[in-house]
Amino acid sequence: MIVIEDVHKRYMTDHGVGKWVLKGINMTIPARRSVALIGRNGAGKSTLLRIIGGIDFPNKGRVVRQCRVSWPMGRGGLEGTLTARQNAKFVCRIHGCHRKELAERLAFIQSFSELGDAFEEPVQTYSSGMRSRLQFALSLAFDFDVYISDEVTAAGDARFRKKAADAFKSMASKASVIMVSHDESTLKQFCQSAIWIDEGQAYWFDDLAEGLEAYKTKTLP
């Protein structure tokens, strides 16, 4: 279960403090429930996703995670001066991998990312597609109760996107997901419930179809 308590978020802009993106979000996401975050562009979907995943923080309020939650898949932070191997080792050690397990995880990350010799090169030399492949492989290398996905299968070229989509399907069959996607068919494939974000507020729908209908017709629950 994930509890979102009175979460407010806004960012600094070139003109000073920006408007509130999220304004007092209160929500409980049940265990073993896959959820779509829906709303117009700029509504705050990715912002809330990052806060749930712990890579961004609210200005006010908090998120209580009573389960293991991933960072947003394909969006994890990388240190540019380090190689892919060094970045992977760092992430593995954060997650408490021991020597034998570390070797297995590194082998998986290297194989899945398909970086070849570039796995030993600094990440700052990578193209955006190479970085995406590494980030996605890192996300898949660990077992979480809830996976956070922001257009995750958009990583890399067409062949890798299919590989990523297949891996994501396999993962989602064993865990729950919280997902942002502009593809409605993808949301229907993976999610049962929805959170509609509108004007800084969030509305919960047990049924995904009801949430999508409310979003399209702008009918508040």
pLDDT tens readout for residues 159-188:
887 888 788 888 888 899 999 988 898 899
Q: In what order do the strands lie in the sheet with 193-198?
A: 69-73, 146-150, 176-180, 35-38, 193-198, 201-205
What phi, psi does 112 have (nearest 5°)? -70, -35
Q: 3-class DSSP state for residue 187?
A: helix
Q: What average pLDDT does the structure give for the chain?
A: 90
pLDDT at 94 over 60: yes
**Architecture of the domain delimited by 1-68+145-221:** 3-Layer(aba) Sandwich (3.40)
Q: 3-class DSSP state for residue 107?
A: helix
Domain chopping of the chain, boundaries = 1-68+145-221, 76-142
- Mean pLDDT over 193-199 rounds to 96
pLDDT at 155: 59
Q: Is 24 left (phi over 0), alpha (psi -120 to 50) or beta?
A: left
pLDDT at 153 over 80: no
List of residues 6+ apart from 181 with CB closer than 8 A: 36, 149, 151, 187
**Tokens, residue 27:** 């929500």
- For residue 221, name the pLDDT band (cuts at 50, 70, 90): confident
